[in-house]
């Protein structure tokens, strides 16, 4: 029998003390799409209750690991104790492909100031300066980025002053991030801090003109498992020029030159919407929401880009690429549907994949019965239309909000207001994102910042055919007899973006949900007699 989501919600809350349950109730919502297009309000981007096991990461992770990390030729130095550098070293599968053998790629390196007691007591700026000089001597990079870890903020090291001095001394771009792990309630704060500094120190610093006709940036695509390679190839075949990607397979120069594009396309709204908005304000580049996860989403996104440029030849090429690719996509879809139709999935991932991957499951005939983000905001759940009603709390106020004005000489609106209205009328989300909940079924459970306890209860109650999360959850899920697909790292698989990626995903999920292996999983205590104390001791 299908579980009643309202009862499930009560069950989840019943384990908490009354006051905590009351607060938690606002983060667990039964989805409902109302006739006026609205959905219920969900509480998000708030502190995790102490004691709850959360999936979340820290602000440093969002800044260094997520947004800047995938750029291969910015040399990243973690200012802090060695653990922060070590545990953020090559743990995210953002791939990169330097153009030639002599092109810089610092991603394999882990640079840290290795802060010790002495720096905690007497300050770490001296050691940071020395580290920057040493790194410069070794690599001669175009740019150096300094990332602050928790103790840096606690002892008050001024990484920005050090960056300014070193920039002058070395003659390269050096900039710092106040992305101390505790700065926000999650890694989301780190995204914002990274966006601000990229915009302030890098975007628009390279004026090389771009002669191409159809120039776009791709924002919020991080090349996990090679996704960006697939998208790059698709765009190229369509004749669309990718000026820069923020930040999968990216370079410093591409960021610096990105204001030459005529359109910003945004994949992961959560992590990079700030750059899109700031570029709109300063340079007049409009942004649209795209999604290259799922064959349908990919086709729609390509068509929207073509519509934006309104060029018959481009449209024809885009249609040709789509129809070439769709033959194989449909063949695989048809094959897997016979085995996957009606199966259920749950997705609990960061800030956009819990939404995007529902499309891929839908293409296989599978249903998403519960989903949620680790750290996204209400606009990612309910759509940007709720932005004016989001209360700014002390934690959000803590993160700098850049005041951006039109550039005196370089502001050039790429499209007039009328043209933008026309594009919207043609079904395009111009400077808009509809959010996850309007695309989920009524009765689906939406849970923000899911607690591990709740994950285990959901598995028991719903017994979904697949649960999507990350490495921290993976083995607990499998021990419950349910396959777990990691949607952060792709379990060493991928790519899953674009048409080719969709085919990969269909095949992989088909294999996972139809294998019998998980139903044989039994914990030893479920089968064996309880061992006597003496036996255990021997
Ligand atoms: Fe955006 Fe991401 Fe995600 Fe994200 Fe992430 Fe990621 Fe993610 Mo892991 S930028 S919000 S901070 S799509 S690392 S590539 S998979 S939690 S859903």
Of 240, 409, 432, 405, the C-alpha closest to 318 is 240
Give CA–CA dist 108/175, Å, rounded.
21
In the block, which residue shows the tokens 């709109």? 280
Ligand 1 binding pocket includes 494 (Cβ within 6 Å):
no
Residue 92 annotated in active site? yes
For 140-176, give the DSSP string: --SEEEEEE-HHHHHHT--HHHHHHHHHHHHSSEEEE
**Cβ pair 112, 127 in contact under 8 A:** no
Give the closest residue (by CA) to ligand 1 atom 10.
351
59-181 falls under which CATH superfamily? Nitrogenase molybdenum iron protein domain (3.40.50.1980)
Q: Which two tokens stand for residue 518?
A: 């998980």
Residue 536 contacts by C-beta under 8 Å, 6 or more apart in sequence? none
Residue 497 annotated in active site? no
280-286-290 Cα angle (round to 5): 120
Residue 294 contacts by C-beta under 8 Å, 6 or more apart in sequence? 356, 357, 359, 360, 362, 363, 502
Distances (CA, A) of 48 to 27, 30, 55, 375, 473: 11, 20, 10, 10, 17
Catalytic one of 24, 44, 56, 61: 61
**Cβ pair 53, 453 in contact under 8 A:** yes
C-alpha 45: how far from chain center:
15
Atom of ligand 1 nearest to the CA of 94: 14
Where are the domains positioned within the chain? 59-181, 215-332+378-425
Ligand 1 binding pocket includes 66 (Cβ within 6 Å):
yes
Q: Ligand 1 mean position to 246 CA, how many Å?
A: 13
Mutate to test the pocket of ligand 1, among 192, 221, 246, 268 (most ligand atoms within 8 A of CB): 268
Q: Ligand 1 mean position to 373 CA, how many Å?
A: 10
**Structural element, H or E, at residue 324:** helix 312-340
Of 146, 73, 145, 58, the C-alpha closest to 108 is 73
If you count them, how many residues does the chain have? 538
Catalytic one of 24, 72, 79, 191: 191
Ligand 1 binding pocket includes 271 (Cβ within 6 Å):
yes
Give CA–CA dist 244/254, Å, rounded.
5
**Cβ pair 499, 292 in contact under 8 A:** no
Catalytic one of 24, 56, 92, 259: 92
Q: Average pLDDT across each block of 10 residues of the chain; the chain has 538 residues. List them in order.
A: 94 96 98 97 96 96 98 98 97 97 97 98 98 98 98 98 98 98 97 98 98 98 98 98 98 98 98 98 98 98 98 98 98 98 98 98 98 98 98 94 98 97 94 98 98 97 98 95 97 97 98 92 75 60
**Cβ pair 106, 35 in contact under 8 A:** no
Q: Ligand 1 mean position to 530 CA, how many Å?
A: 43
Give CA–CA dist 341/344, Å, rounded.
9
Of 219, 261, 269, 268, the C-alpha closest to 240 is 261
What are the residue ranges of helices labelled H in 171-311? Answer: 188-201, 227-238, 252-256, 269-283, 295-309
Q: Ligand 1 mean position to 353 CA, how many Å?
A: 7
Query: Strand 445-447 to strand 28-30: parallel, antiparallel, or no bridges (unpaired)?
Result: antiparallel
Residue 201 annotated in active site? no
Q: Ligand 1 mean position to 526 CA, how many Å?
A: 37
Ligand 1 binding pocket includes 219 (Cβ within 6 Å):
no
Angle between helices 295-309 and 353-363 (to 10 degrees): 110
Query: Which pLDDT does position 526 carry in this prediction?
Result: 77
The strand ranges marked E within 293-415 are 344-349, 367-373
Q: Ligand 1 mean position to 91 CA, how many Å?
A: 13
Q: What is the pTM of this model?
A: 0.96
Q: Which CATH class, in words, describes the domain spanning 215-332+378-425?
A: alpha beta
Query: Which pLDDT does position 538 carry in this prediction?
Result: 56
In the block, which residue shows the tokens 């580049």? 285
Give CA–CA dist 257/222, Å, rounded.
18
The reply to whether domains 59-181 and 215-332+378-425 share a CATH topology is: yes
Residue 312 annotated in active site? no
Mutate to test the pocket of ligand 1, among 488, 496, 497, 501 (most ligand atoms within 8 A of CB): 488
C-alpha 482: how far from chain center:
25
């Amino acid at each position: 029998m299908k579980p009643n989501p309202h009862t499930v919600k009560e069950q989840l809350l019943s384990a908490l003390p009354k006051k905590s349950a009351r607060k938690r109730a606002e983060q667990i919502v039964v989805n409902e799409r109302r006739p006026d297009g609205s959905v219920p309000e969900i509480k998000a981007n708030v502190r995790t209750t102490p004691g709850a096991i959360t999936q979340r990461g820290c602000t440093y992770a969002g800044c260094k690991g997520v947004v800047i990390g995938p750029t291969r030729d910015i040399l990243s130095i973690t200012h802090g104790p060695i653990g922060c550098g070590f545990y953020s070293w090559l743990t995210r599968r953002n791939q990169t492909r330097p153009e030639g053998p002599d092109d810089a790629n610092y991603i394999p390196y882990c640079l840290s100031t290795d802060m010790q007691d002495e720096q905690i007591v007497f300050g770490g700026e001296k050691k940071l300066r020395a580290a920057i000089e040493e790194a410069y001597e070794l690599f001669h990079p175009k740019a150096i980025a300094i990332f602050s870890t928790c103790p840096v903020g606690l002892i008050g090291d001024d990484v920005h002053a050090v960056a300014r001095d070193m920039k002058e001394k070395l003659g390269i771009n050096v900039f710092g991030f106040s992305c101390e792990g505790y700065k926000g309630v999650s890694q989301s704060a780190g995204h914002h801090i990274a966006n601000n500094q990229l915009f302030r120190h890098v975007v628009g610093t390279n004026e090389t003109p771009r002669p191409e006709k159809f120039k776009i940036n791709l924002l919020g695509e991080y090349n996990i498992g090679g996704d960006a390679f697939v998208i790059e190839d698709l765009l190229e075949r369509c004749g669309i020029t990718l000026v820069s990607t923020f930040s999968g397979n990216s370079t410093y120069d591409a960021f610096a030159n990105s204001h030459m594009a005529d359109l910003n396309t945004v994949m992961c709204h959560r992590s990079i919407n700030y750059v899109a908005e700031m570029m709109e304000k300063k340079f007049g580049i409009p942004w649209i929401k795209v999604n290259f996860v799922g064959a349908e989403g990919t086709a729609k996104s390509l068509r929207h880009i073509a519509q934006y440029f309104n060029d018959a030849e481009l449209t024809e090429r885009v249609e040709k690429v789509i129809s070439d690719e769709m033959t194989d996509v449909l063949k695989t879809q048809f094959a897997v549907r016979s085995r996957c139709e009606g199966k259920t999935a749950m997705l609990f991932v960061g800030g956009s994949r819990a939404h995007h991957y529902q499309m891929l499951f839908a293409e296989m005939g599978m249903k998403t019965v519960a989903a949620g983000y680790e750290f996204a905001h209400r606009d990612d759940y309910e759509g940007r239309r709720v932005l004016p009603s989001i209360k700014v709390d002390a934690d959000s106020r803590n993160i700098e909000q850049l005041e951006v004005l039109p550039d005196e000489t370089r502001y050039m609106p790429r499209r007039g207001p009328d043209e933008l209205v026309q594009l919207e009328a043609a079904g395009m989300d111009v400077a808009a994102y509809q959010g996850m909940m309007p695309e989920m079924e009524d009765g689906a459970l939406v849970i923000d910042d899911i607690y591990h306890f709740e994950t285990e209860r959901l598995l028991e109650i719903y017994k979904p055919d697949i649960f999507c999360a990350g490495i921290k959850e993976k083995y607990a899920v499998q021990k419950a007899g349910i396959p777990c697909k990691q949607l952060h790292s792709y379990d060493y698989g991928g790519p899953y973006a674009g048409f080719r990626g969709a085919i990969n995903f269909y095949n992989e999920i088909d294999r996972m949900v139809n294998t019998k292996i998980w139903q044989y999983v039994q914990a030893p205590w479920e089968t064996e007699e309880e061992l006597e104390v003496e036996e255990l001791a021997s």
